[in-house]
Structure 1
């Protein structure tokens, strides 16, 4: 069977992980029990997970011209991902500080680097590559103008478009309605569909059903996910695991979803698969080595009768 091919456009940078007992309150200093660094960013994580699952992956990202950009490029080559780095001279690469508490929950602070300055014309010359892929995956860490350009290129052929709308932005709704699938978490979905945080999930579901979107997957962490597909709502339970670190679980979910879709599965089956893979990933620290092996995935799918 032909390998799935995916073109990922997204953020990459250096991630600093701090392991703490609890998150600090205002004015409080907490002491980290451990420190770990590795390349990361939503785009990087999604490209990495797609490759480890078995897809052929192109990854376009913008960096500075510092040592962190070199680390990112070298890591992508080692993973077997085809990198397309737009290096901006004299600028810093994105960095993130990630605090993980003893429950496995995390808080993240990101220095975006050059991510706000990337222009849509960086995609000039990539039309053939994007058009030759099964899927184009993007997030909202880059300007909306770049997303529009990516969609426009994909629409010239048969490349399907998935956007992970993080961070959420209500102004992007019209653009998001043009793509095949969006994959917000609950808080992001409430921003997109203009639902208050205090409102129940049922209100969000009704807004989704009334919308022009063709397919929406709302990820709910340990509560599973809600799949909206051409008017039909399906609720999918999460895998029951003891979480060690939830960092990157959403990125691994998106990668797993697209991998399974590109292998020919339907949306609901792909969402169940993604839930298993991302669920298994939270048992390990950090992100780069959190993607479970094919053997682990197959064993769990059989156990869960999926």
Structure 2
């Protein structure tokens, strides 16, 4: 039985490395191109598995070469794919442009992910019985995500949501969440004010925590991570690395965190592991190709103990 069930998206990423973003109407010679298995759901499943968790994936692909390649890739990380169904559409695709500053810009074609629905929620029944966590994102229909969260909550399985791409959440979702993990952009949408530094991130995490989730974790890239829970708000500093590609860094952080929690480790230990995993991820190119294994992290510096931050 899985420790973690991931209900979400699977995409094939088509990645172009380019010096900068072309201007409108401009043709710019790129450095290279590659295809790479991706999708926030699949990325997070891989990140969980590579940190030692037993993982099951629930989602949809198309009846095409990309779909079969995505399932085969997941199985290569020992992820259970029997509930990855085929949809009457092409497999989801993400067009990703990565510039020389390691920033990415993504255009997403949902494809089969748009067909995730009630049948897929029903497939969760067996896997949730012994799982510790259900991990959700928003690259599949919101209605299906809400139904999956409701089912998991009823079965006593913890619900973790990464609200990406950024969307307003249904009011019914807030009371179902055990943990909310998000970045500054997503936090700003949900809070209604800009999030760009430690003070605003702390205020945002605290405000979201007060809406219901017992744990809110807000990632700020190179500025670290803020967590707000019953013990207060804390700030973890990021590790300094030479980033070449930030694709899948957030997914890597979430997967490592969830794998740690599934092992029964404390939340602060899980956040430290997530920071290490994300730091190594951004030094590599690609989505799933860049996600590290647990053994890879042994060479990294430890994460500093968090400092308490006050909500202002």
**TM-score clears 0.5:** yes
**Deviation string, structure 1 residues 34-60 (Cα, Å, up to 9, x no partner):** 001021110111111111111111001
Stretch of structure 1 that moved more, 93-102 or 191-200: 191-200
Change (3 A) 1:88 1:228: same
Work out which of the residue numbers 130, 137, 140 in structure 1 matches 2:138.
140
Q: Contact conserved, 1:135 with 1:161, CA < 8 A, in 2?
A: yes
In 2, Cα distance between equivalents of 1:206 and 1:144: 24
Segments of structure 2 that go 5 or more residues without pairing to the other structure are 307-312
In 2, Cα distance between equivalents of 1:294 and 1:288: 14
> What does 1:40-55 correspond to in 2, within 5 Å?
40-55=38-53
> What does 1:174-185 correspond to in 2, within 5 Å?
174-185=172-183
Stretch of structure 1 that moved more, 98-107 or 192-201: 192-201
**Deviation string, structure 1 residues 89-123 (Cα, Å, up to 9, x no partner):** 3x211001111111111111111113233222322
Stretch of structure 1 that moved more, 203-212 or 251-260: 203-212
The Cα of 1:128 is off from its aligned counterpart by: 2.3
Q: Contact conserved, 1:257 with 1:274, CA < 8 A, in 2?
A: yes
Stretch of structure 1 that moved more, 216-225 or 118-127: 118-127
The Cα of 1:184 is off from its aligned counterpart by: 1.0
Asked if 1:113 corresponds to 2:106, the answer is no
Task: Tell me which residue corresponds to 1:240.
Answer: 240
The Cα of 1:210 is off from its aligned counterpart by: 4.2
The Cα of 1:87 is off from its aligned counterpart by: 0.6
The Cα of 1:209 is off from its aligned counterpart by: 5.3
DSSP-derived class of the 2:182 partner: coil
Task: Tell me which residue corresponds to 1:159.
Answer: 157
Asked if 1:251 corresponds to 2:251, the answer is yes
Asked if 1:87 corresponds to 2:86, the answer is yes
The Cα of 1:63 is off from its aligned counterpart by: 1.5
In 2, Cα distance between equivalents of 1:206 and 1:153: 27
Q: Contact conserved, 2:58 with 2:120, CA < 8 A, in 1?
A: no
DSSP-derived class of the 1:226 partner: strand
Runs of 4+ in 1 over 6 A off after TM superposition: none
The Cα of 1:302 is off from its aligned counterpart by: 4.6
Q: Contact conserved, 1:13 with 1:72, CA < 8 A, in 2?
A: yes
In 1, Cα distance between equivalents of 2:33 and 2:242: 22
Stretch of structure 1 that moved more, 141-150 or 93-102: 141-150
Task: Tell me which residue corresponds to 1:298.
Answer: 298
The Cα of 1:82 is off from its aligned counterpart by: 0.7
Task: Tell me which residue corresponds to 2:309.
Answer: none
Task: Tell me which residue corresponds to 1:14.
Answer: 12
DSSP-derived class of the 1:183 partner: strand
In 2, Cα distance between equivalents of 1:153 and 1:192: 24
DSSP-derived class of the 2:160 partner: strand
Change (3 A) 1:198 1:153: closer
Change (3 A) 1:206 1:151: closer
Change (3 A) 1:85 1:208: closer
Which structure is richer in relative contact order (CA contacts within 8 A, separation 6 or more)?
A: 2
Q: Contact conserved, 1:136 with 1:160, CA < 8 A, in 2?
A: yes
Asked if 1:289 corresponds to 2:274, the answer is no
In 1, Cα distance between equivalents of 2:29 and 2:252: 29
Stretch of structure 1 that moved more, 272-281 or 27-36: 27-36
**Deviation string, structure 1 residues 191-221 (Cα, Å, up to 9, x no partner):** 1122246894454245335433321111101
**Deviation string, structure 1 residues 57-104 (Cα, Å, up to 9, x no partner):** 100111221111111122222221111222123x21100111111111
In 1, Cα distance between equivalents of 2:161 and 2:73: 24
In 2, Cα distance between equivalents of 1:168 and 1:302: 31
**Deviation string, structure 1 residues 262-282 (Cα, Å, up to 9, x no partner):** 111222221121011111111
Segments of structure 1 that go 5 or more residues without pairing to the other structure are none
